[in-house]
Amino acid sequence: MKMKNKIFDVSTHDSRDPNPWLALYLDTSIPLNNATKKALMLDNDSKSVKYLLPLIMFFSKVLMFFIHLFKFFFPKIINAPKTLHKILAWGLKKFVSNNANLLIFRHFHIGTEIVEFIANNIEGVQVETNPLRPKNFNDVKDNLFLNHDLNLYNFVINLNRELANKNTIIKKVETLNLSMITEDQFDHIDFPNKWTNVLDLRSAIELFTPYYQLFLTSNDFVRASNSLQLDETISIYTAQILGTPSHLGLVNNKHPMVPATTYNAAYNLVLHGLAAETLHEVLVNIKKNKNQDGIITP
């Protein structure tokens, strides 16, 4: 997939008017896949962010307030995840930019790999995972977003039940299994780039959030919002396995025992995606220096 690169041209740098996205693209303090970083910086520099996002955020919050009132009295009267995901698939294909689609689709793949990494690097514990690797917009219709949220909670519950039953803990692994960690750049997926595909990542999420709230039960929506704070939990599991907690400083969605308001779900979802990307890149960088079958040998 080709992406415009005018903001990445260092020769155009003006010291009196530096481009913030060029600075962040060149900065290497945060580990991030290069294709992801390009897509994110282009997304941040889009006209959609500058002109549409402020309006969309306002109307989204107002709509969420009225849906919240409706759901207070009728929390389970609407439960249509299939309808929701058909709308999401249609919206992603017709209105979301190719850069934003890249970031969204990558998230499910790297999230699957991170969970599989944890599950396969705890000695004496067997936890089944439910991999989500969407290849096209039709895959979205299979309750993709809802299943992603359910997977996180089910994984945490099943893992800790196993740890308790086996009377063991997560600890540093001397020989890591990194066979599930890939460097997929998604060059094989041709995301649409028509004149209607203009929405940036945050605008798309802000627009989709009220639909998510409306078409799911109140419990499903609140659980989905709260699942974002499991970033801290998943990062702690990984830190215990690696024995290197430094990447925990990159996690912004924290403290799952003190849930944040659902009105911040869209912004926190973007932070969730960034946290997953940085953690995945940490694992990719470890694997790059190891043998071909993905097993690290000290």
For 83-126, write each residue's pLDDT tens digit.
999 999 999 999 999 999 999 999 999 999 999 999 999 999 99
The average pLDDT across 148-158 equals: 96
**C-alpha span between 262 and 222 (Å, rounded):** 7
Question: Is the pLDDT reported for residue 5 higher than 70?
Answer: no
The average pLDDT across 263-284 equals: 94
Place of tokens 């009225």: 66
3 band by pLDDT with thresholds 50, 70 and 90 = very low
DSSP 165-201: HTT------SS-B-TT------TT------TT--B-H
Predicted confidence at residue 107, as pLDDT, reads: 96
Predicted confidence at residue 1, as pLDDT, reads: 44
More confident residue, 4 or 187: 187
Annotate 259-269 with b (16+ C-beta within 10 A) or e (fewer): ebebeebbbbb
- In the chain, what is the straight-line distance between the N-terminal and C-terminal CA atoms, in Å? 37
Lowest average pLDDT, out of 135-139, 143-147, 189-193, 256-260, goes to 189-193
244 band by pLDDT with thresholds 50, 70 and 90 = confident
**C-alpha span between 225 and 64 (Å, rounded):** 13
Give, in degrees to the nearest 5, the angle at Cα 231 between 112 and 249.
Answer: 120
**C-alpha 171: how far from chain center:** 26
Question: Is the pLDDT reported for residue 294 higher than 90?
Answer: no
9 band by pLDDT with thresholds 50, 70 and 90 = confident
**C-alpha span between 145 and 129 (Å, rounded):** 16
Lowest average pLDDT, out of 122-136, 192-206, 280-294, goes to 280-294
**C-alpha 81: how far from chain center:** 20
| Sign (positive or negative) of CA dihedral 18, 7, 53, 39 | negative
The average pLDDT across 180-199 equals: 88
288 band by pLDDT with thresholds 50, 70 and 90 = confident
